[in-house]
Amino acid sequence: MTDIVVGDKFGAWEVLRRVSDGRYLCVCTSCNETQKRVKAHDLRSGKSLQCKSCSHSVKKSHGAELQYPSEYQSWQSMIARCTNPNNKDYPRYGGRGITVDLMWLSSFEAFLMMMGRKPTPEHTIDRIDGTKGYMPGNCRWATRDEQNRNLSSNIPLTIDGETKVVTEWARDPRCTVSEFTLYKRIARGWTDAKKIVFTPSRRSAEGSGEESREAGSDSRDSGSPEEEEEQ
Ligand SMILES: [Zn+2]
Q: Could you tell me the distance, in angstroms and rounded to a whole number, from the CA of residue 27 to the centre of ligand 1?
A: 8
Say if residue 73's pLDDT is above 70. yes
Using CA atoms of 187, 230, 196, 160 in order, give the dihedral in degrees to the nearest 10. Answer: -140
Q: Where are the alpha helices (DSSP H) in 93-175?
A: 102-106, 108-115, 144-153, 166-171
> What band does 104 get if pLDDT is binned at 50, 70 and 90?
very high
Ligand 1 geometric centre to CA of 13 (Å): 9
DSSP annotation of 22: T
Contact 127, 99 (CB under 8 A): no
In a 10 Å sphere around its CB, with 0-12 CB exposed, 13-18 middle and 19+ buried, how is residue 229 labelled? Answer: middle
How many angstroms separate the alpha carbon of residue 109 from the centre of ligand 1?
17
Is the alpha carbon torsion for 74, 96, 131, 49 positive or negative?
positive
Ligand 1 mean position, distance from CA 32 (Å): 6
Residue extents of the structural domains in the chain:
1-53, 60-142, 150-229
Distance 35 CA to ligand 1 centre (A): 8
Average pLDDT of the chain, as a whole number: 80
Largest CA distance in the chain: 65
Which stretch of 32-36, 54-58, 222-226 has the lowest confidence by average pLDDT?
A: 222-226
Please give the distance, rounded to the nearest whole angstrom, from the Cα atom of residue 51 to the centre of ligand 1.
Answer: 4
State in Å: Cα 106 to ligand 1 middle: 9
Residue 64 in this model has a pLDDT that exceeds 80: no
Q: How many residues does the chain have?
A: 231
Q: How many whole angstroms from 36 Cα to the centroid of ligand 1?
A: 10
What does the pLDDT look like over 1-34, one tens digit per residue? 668 889 988 888 899 999 987 899 999 987 888 9
Phi–psi pair at 125, nearest 5 degrees = -75, 130
More confident residue, 152 or 230: 152
Distance 100 CA to ligand 1 centre (A): 15
Confidence label for 218 from pLDDT (cuts 50, 70 and 90): very low
Q: What is the pLDDT of residues 131-182, one digit of tens each?
A: 889 998 889 898 887 777 666 667 788 999 998 888 889 889 999 898 888 8
Q: How confident is the model at residue 231 (pLDDT cuts 50, 70, 90)?
A: very low
Distance 138 CA to ligand 1 centre (A): 24
pTM of the model: 0.46
